[in-house]
Homo-oligomer: A and B are copies of this chain.
Amino acid sequence: MTQAVRHDAMRARNLALVLGEVSARGSVTRAALAEITGLAKTTVSKLIADLIEAGLVVETGIVRAGERGRPGMEVQVSGLSVAAIGLEINVDYLAAHVVDLSRSVRLRRARPVDNRLASPGDVIANLQHLALSAVDEAVDIGLRVVGGVLAVPGTVDLTTGTVRRAPNLGWRDVPLLSLLRMPFPIRVDNEANLAALGELWFGAGHRDFLHVSGEIGVGAGLVVRGELFRGFRGFAGELGHVVVSPGGPPCHCGGQGCLERYAGQDALLSAAGLAPSAPSSGPGQDATRLPASPPPPSGPEQGPGRRPDPGCPAPAVADTPSTPGHPGTGIAELLRRLEASDSDALAACERAGWALGIALTSAVNLVDPERIVLGGIYAPLFPWIGGAVTETLTARLGEMREVVPSVEVSRLGTEAAPLGAAGQVIHQIIADPAGLLNA
> Contact residues of A with B, CB < 8 Å?
155, 164-165, 167, 208, 220, 222, 224, 229-239, 241-246, 253-256, 358-359, 361-363, 365-370, 395-403
Contacts and interface: CB of A to CB of B under 8 A. Distances in A.
A266 to B, nearest CB: 18
A235 B366 CA distance: 8
Nearest to A233: B368
B368 A400 contact: no
Contacts of A235: 368, 401
A358 B236 CA distance: 17
Contacts of A242: 361-362, 365-366
Contacts of A369: 231-232
Given A244-B243, A366-B220, A400 B358 contact: no
Given A254-B399, A358-B246, A241 B365 contact: yes
A255 B397 contact: yes
Given A208-B232, A358-B243, A398 B254 contact: yes
Given A155-B400, A400-B165, A402-B164, A365 B239 contact: yes
A273 to B, nearest CB: 24
Contact of A231 (B236, B237, B239, B367): B367
A365 B238 contact: yes
A191 B361 CA distance: 21
Contacts of A253: 396, 399-400
Contacts of A234: 368
Contacts of A403: 233
A232 B398 contact: no
Contacts of A370: 232-233
A63 to B, nearest CB: 36
A100 to B, nearest CB: 32
Contacts of A233: 368, 370, 401, 403
A395 B235 CA distance: 18
A253 B220 CA distance: 25
Nearest to A396: B255
Nearest to A368: B231
A239 B366 contact: yes
A159 to B, nearest CB: 14
Contact of A167 (B224, B365, B367, B400): B400
Please indicate which of the listed interface residues A233, A238, A365 has the most CB atoms of chain B within 10 Å of its own CB: A365
Nearest to A164: B402
Contacts of A239: 365-366
A366 B237 contact: yes
A404 to B, nearest CB: 11
A243 to B, nearest CB: 5
Contacts of A229: 229, 367
A439 to B, nearest CB: 33
Nearest to A371: B232
A403 B397 CA distance: 32
A360 to B, nearest CB: 10
Contacts of A241: 361, 365, 396, 400
Contacts of A231: 367-369
Please indicate which of the listed interface residues A220, A361, A367 has the most CB atoms of chain B within 10 Å of its own CB: A367
Contacts of A255: 361, 395-397, 399-400
Contacts of A359: 243, 362
B238 A395 contact: no
Given A165-B400, A399-B253, A367 B367 contact: yes
A366 B367 contact: yes
A255 to B, nearest CB: 4
A239 B363 CA distance: 9
Nearest to A165: B400
Given A155-B401, A164-B402, A400-B253, A363 B366 contact: yes
A433 to B, nearest CB: 28
Given A243-B361, A244-B243, A254-B400, A232 B368 contact: yes
Contacts of A236: 366-368
Contacts of A368: 230-236, 238
